[in-house]
Amino acid sequence: MGESNPSYSQLQVTIFSANLASNGAFLKADPYIELSVDGQPPKRTEVSKKTWTPRWEEHFTLLVQPSSKLNFRVLNHKSLGSDTLLGEGVLELKPLLINNNGKFNEYKTKLKLSFEQKGGIQPAGEVNLIFNGMNIDITAILDISNGELPTDASSSVDQATNGSLNTPSTGNSEGSSSSSDSTASTSTAATDTTNTLSTPTTTNSTSSPAPAPDPDPDSQPNPAVVVPPASLTEEELPPNWERRTDEHGRAYYVDHNTRTTTWERPQPLPPGWERRVDPRGRLYYVDHNTRTTTWQRPTNQSLDNYNQWQQHLRQNQNRNWELYGQRSLYNQQPQAQADSDPLGPLLDGWEKRVDGNSRVYFVNHKNRTTQWEDPRTQGTLQEDPLPEGWEMRYTKEGVRYFVDHNTRETTFQDPRGGQSKGPIGAFGVPVQYERSFRWKLGQFRYLCQSNALPGHVKINLSRESMFEESFQQIMRLQPFDLRRRLYIIFKGEEGLDYGGLAREWFFHLSHDVLNPMYCLFEYASNNNYALQINAASSVNPDHLMYFRFIGRFIAMSLYHGKFIDSGFTLPFYKRMLSKKVTLKDLETIDEQFYSSLKWLQDNNIEECGLEMTFSADFEILGKLSTHELKPGGADITVTEENKEEYIEMMNNWRFTRGVEEQTKSFLEGFNEVVPLQWLQYFDERELELMLCGMQEIDVDDWEKHTIYRHYSRNSKQVQWFWKFLREIDNEKRTRLLQFVTGTCRLPVGGFAELMGSNGPQRFCVEKVGKETWLPRSHTCFNRIDLPPYKSYEQLLEKLTLAIEETEGFGQE
């Protein structure tokens, strides 16, 4: 019997190890395993180097049905050329579930592998697997008509043959009933309310079957007999659908309406859905509940998954908004007690305060001005002396400038210049460079404040259509109006904007306008989630107007000192600063393109016989076009003498191909609000810092500013902990940081400026618990409780489980 509504369950498959057959191979293989479920896209293990007995111990969580089949393929990784198949095997879940009463608990099994050669099927070894999860009703997957029973039930039925179980004999006796009569009686017995089970024969019986015993209301039911419920009867396929089986015994379904196939059993459309065909003969589906259409056939499972994804997206958006509020450009130090301040009391007439973002500033009550720098160290903190005839002064806004009495000129540039001297500061660079960056930022803020206009500009919008309404209102305003104080109003929400609503608006709108799903921007590569302009943005006929709007919006975020949710690639920032992009910049954007140009640079192309010209082909939306790198480039051959020019032109073209108009519109919109000349003092990394804040994690800085309780720096668990951090990638480091501190963002000053619930709170590792415990975190105190594990492997397992399987802020 089939399932009328097959449900999915979570199954954890651990690919533990394998013992592969070498089959006379001279060199050892680099094997890995691909695991797929019912023909779905596969998941793969890491490559195990140079061995026939690999050991992975990797866990995979799969969504499966009781009827699913797991396909394991062992392949040999090749650095050059395609990978080769070493062996494969198929594992059916249904027999395993029947033998394990519908659930797995550390169930270990071995799967035999084989591969096909000209001489036939050859053994290829075996894979050791461990199953966990799934807890389903065993009766829901049994096919009683074919005699499928769990192991314990089958033995009970054998013992109960003389009881209520009636098995008719087969033979060629005279006076037999017809096969139709036998089938009818069997059907009646199978649906009877009594606990009897009739097992009919499928041969042409010639003897009369023994009559079924009369139901006795006083008799006790036999617990060993299982009767399938009526709901388990197999549902008929929709019209023009057919079920077939491939050469591996896997069932698939053919839709003769659209001439397509699928592994999934077709289900009736969910309530409120309708199937239609457009004028071009393409099949689509209409959801009358939400008045939307889709090309994908909806199922109850897919709708549930979509609703869960939407809920997960909303939860993550709220969490990202919380982390967004913690970003800062400056040292976040709360007001310290005067008696604990190593610099002593402030000068007469000065006061130390903390703003809403926990940034410390100083008030001079004598002239009623404020400044960021501490007046006790202003101009004297570990600085080299000024050249003869020079003097340092400050403007009313607290911006430092220098007076050259020799030439009677003034400048904002520090005349000491040269190589930076002095100790390294909290930002990981010399203190002089810190002051230089602060000076640059102060100069930029001064330009913004001096060009600000009085009054405010209201932006009234709804959260549901924030993107479109923001676009319409910002593009309707004059660029100079966007320099006024912003006053954001969300429709249907009461409240006054004193800066909080503006920060929220910048965060959510930046998340929308930079969303790659709108086809305006795209991720730089598969492993680089920085954004760059999408060359295919022309699918939107108004894309240039949208880029002009985004340029204005990004300029507003810099002008008003707000952060955006995600940032751009460093070469994009270089384009904004009119700086030359280098070949090294290409490595993070297109590694394959970089490798090709690097190979050309390092090798003699004339010896290789490459026939290249100063032209390149590029495909956008299926249209292939040829671009000449220089006039007449299609007729100019690349030689060893001019290859450097060719590499430089190709590198520049790679960054501009298909995005010239979009970049021009973006910069025009940006320049309307903030002149690009205002950014001339910054480099691309400082510009990224101003827009997004610090994101990269420095393990050395992390270790340097960590304290210990009941551990010492030389404890083996502590050394294992830092070894673990250095071996994992930056994503897992970010997860661990978020697990312990509650945020994946760091202050600009790095780990030295981590904040806790009571002010500055350094990262802490404390010895707590037993070796069987999982690590615990205290996000309010930036502390992780690390039990005294006995081995590095145990610490690796426990920490990985903690940072990957724990969700939310419920740790403590």
Residues marked active site are found at 780
Report strand pairing: 197-198 vs 165-166: parallel
Separation between Cα atoms, residue 257 and residue 132, nearest integer Å: 40
Buried b / exposed e along 236-250 (16+ C-beta atoms within 10 A): eeeeeeeeeeeeeeb
- Does an H or E element contain 75, and which? strand 69-76
Token pair listed for 390: 């020079």
Angle, helices 466-476 vs 500-513, to 10°: value is 100
For residue 437, the 8-state DSSP code is H
| Nearest alpha carbon to residue 540 among 467, 477, 474 | 467
CB-based contact 534:521 (threshold 8 Å)? yes
Separation between Cα atoms, residue 265 and residue 284, nearest integer Å: 18
Separation between Cα atoms, residue 569 and residue 524, nearest integer Å: 7
* Residues contacting 81, CB < 8 A, separation 6+: none
In single-letter form, the type of residue at position 775 comes to: P
Q: 785 pairs with which residues across the strands?
A: 766, 776
CA atoms within 13 A on the CB side of 381: 16
- Strand segments, DSSP code E, in 295-428 are 350-354, 360-364, 369-371, 390-394, 400-404, 409-411
For tokens 């304290």, the residue is 707
Angle, helices 792-805 vs 730-741, to 10°: value is 70
Token pair listed for 215: 């139901």
* Residue 15 CB burial class (10 angstroms; 0-12, 13-18, ≥19): buried
Buried b / exposed e along 108-138 (16+ C-beta atoms within 10 A): eeebebebeeeeeeeebbbbbbbbbbbeeeb
Dihedral sign for Cα 391, 397, 399, 401, please.
Answer: negative
CB-based contact 554:670 (threshold 8 Å)? yes
Q: Cα 91 to the chain's mean position, in Å?
A: 30
Four-point Cα dihedral 503, 506, 510, 513, nearest 10: 150
Can you tell me whether residue 808 is helix, strand or coil? coil
**What is the layout of strands, in order, in the sheet containing 350-354?**
350-354, 360-364, 369-371
Token pair listed for 402: 């220098």
Dihedral sign for Cα 193, 198, 204, 207, please.
Answer: negative
- Does an H or E element contain 665, and which? helix 660-673
Separation between Cα atoms, residue 393 and residue 388, nearest integer Å: 15
CB-based contact 64:8 (threshold 8 Å)? yes
Q: Cα 151 to the chain's mean position, in Å?
A: 43
- CA-only gyration radius of the chain, Å: 36
Report strand pairing: 456-461 vs 120-135: unpaired
In single-letter form, the type of residue at position 717 comes to: Q
Separation between Cα atoms, residue 95 and residue 630, nearest integer Å: 67
Token pair listed for 106: 């550390």
- Does an H or E element contain 570, and which? helix 570-576
Q: Cα 377 to the chain's mean position, in Å?
A: 45
Can you tell me whether residue 732 is helix, strand or coil? helix
